[in-house]
Chains A and B, each alone.
Chain A
Amino acid sequence: MCLAIPARVVSLDADDMATVALEGIRKLVSTALIDDVAVGEYVLVHVGFALHKLSEEEADRTLKLMMEAGVLAEELEEMAAAGSTGDAP
């Protein structure tokens, strides 16, 4: 549960929420902890909250590393399994 995953913001929704996309999963996350995030930017997501923004290169590198180290699949599963909201392919 300590891990945080980089994801791309695809839309800004009401009530400090945003939809992020990663690996074909779409997820509604809270943006209550960060200021002025924009569509197309990358954020680090931890327990359903965007913790901070990060550059595309950093996001890309982290994702690749997580994938190759095998932790990405676990995290995605956790994300998708537990009480998921707004998952769509």
Chain B
Amino acid sequence: MRYVSEFRDGSLARKLARAIAQASDRTRNYHLMEFCGGHTHAIFRYGVQDLVPENVKYVHGPGCPVCVLPVRRLDDAVELALNHDVILCTYGDMMRVPGTKQKSLIKAKAEGADIRMVYSTQDALRITRDNSHREVVFFAIGFETTTPPTAVAILQAKAEGLKNFTVFCNHVLTPPAIAHIVNAPAEEGEDPVRIDGFLGPSHVSSVIGSKPYEPVARIYRKPVVIAGFEPLDVMQSTLMLIRQINEGRHDVENQYTRVVTRDGNRKAQRLVEQVLELRREFEWRGLGTVPQSALKIRKDFSDFDAEKRFPVSPKTSREVKSCECPAILRGAKRPTECKLFGNICTPDNPMGACMVSSEGACAAYWTYGRKRDAAAAIKEAAV
């Protein structure tokens, strides 16, 4: 981990840390939500939290695609694989997420379901061509970055006349989720989640641009700074947010100009638009039902819609009892407030999605947080 110490000792990191300390007003707290799991990861790996003053607090957001997929949709995928005799193609991260009664895709596979891990929609298409006598379903999940590859695959399947390829579409959208988080009333027994500003996702924004955040920032009066994934990016964006908050501004600013523009990748947007359309609403783990927050396959392409071809049975889905993923995804709790964290639930034996995906907050705490907590305890004992 040479880079971690290089970063922490680096003059740029030190300068930024000093600037943040100078800019922050000691009489108040700054609650900054990093929406994206990639940022959570960077904050933990590089100990960014320790480099900023104590009144600057990072609140971990729901930007982990594996984490926000509700159990029911995972149960549906398990049912597709087990009862409809399809080849289910999935991104690897989904394999170990426990569904109802802890049934995961990996367990379904052990029971004989034909589930294949793919790296790309292109692999799913290849499997489709190689198995013309079988039905192949691509389990599509992800935010705006991962959506265009799904749209392209459907267009390719149509152009090639592939009859045995469908997509189980679970693509979700970032801006409505941000709006929902600032707008949602507190859950019973929870304090309202305080957020003063957002670190916006970088790769998602490279596709959709920074423009879609503008209404959110304006309506809810919360500044958004699109931030790159490197620790220095996160620190610079933190400084930009603090300055906006101090000045009472709520603009969308772009720290990650190396890649993100206001309009984003038009070509990718057009392809998505051609194939997919807004769902009226979609359920998110932790956030509940969020209006216009996900995409479904357009009617013109319904031949490629797994939900049309394989109606799944209605079911009562349940999270693992006492898993706090839902509250963690809302920013209401931290992983260490979960009773199962680190004893029963570990990356080797995950009880919830937030421990499975490396972008999940529980996994980040497990990998980097424990050392930090231990160091803090030693420091405390010493004074």
Residues of A within 8 A of B (CB): 1-4, 28-30, 32-35, 44, 46-49, 51-52, 54-55, 58, 62, 64-65, 68-70, 74, 78-79, 81-85
Contacts and interface: CB of A to CB of B under 8 A. Distances in A.
Nearest to B269: A33
A13 to B, nearest CB: 12
Contact of A70 (B1, B148, B359): B1
B49 to A, nearest CB: 17
Nearest to B37: A2
**Interface of B (DSSP majority class):** helix
Given A2-B64, A33-B271, A83-B116, A69 B1 contact: yes
Interface in B238-259: 258-259
Given A3-B38, A4-B203, A82-B118, A68 B149 contact: no
B230 A2 contact: no
Nearest to A55: B258
Contacts of B15: none
B145 A33 contact: no
27 contacts: A1-B91, A1-B357, A2-B36, A2-B145, A32-B152, A33-B148, A33-B152, A33-B271, A44-B203, A47-B149, A49-B120, A49-B149, A49-B152, A51-B145, A51-B203, A51-B207, A52-B259, A58-B258, A69-B45, A70-B1, A74-B358, A81-B117, A81-B119, A82-B117, A82-B118, A85-B123, A85-B126
B1 A47 contact: no
B149 A78 contact: no
A74 B93 CA distance: 12
Interface of B: 1-4, 6, 36-38, 45, 64-66, 91-93, 116-123, 126-127, 142-143, 145-146, 148-149, 152, 203, 206-207, 230, 258-259, 265, 267-268, 271, 357-359
A45 to B, nearest CB: 9
Nearest to B206: A52
Q: Nearest 5 pairs between A and B by C-beta? A: A48-B120, A83-B123, A68-B3, A82-B119, A33-B268
A32 B271 contact: yes
Contact of B92 (A33, A35, A78): A78
A46 to B, nearest CB: 6
Nearest to B36: A2
A70 B219 CA distance: 40
Contact of B122 (A44, A62, A85): A85
Contact of A54 (B146, B259, B265): B259
Given A30-B149, A33-B267, A51-B265, A69 B4 contact: yes
Contact of A30 (B142, B146, B152, B267): B152
Contact of A48 (B36, B65, B121): B121
B203 to A, nearest CB: 6
A33 B264 CA distance: 12
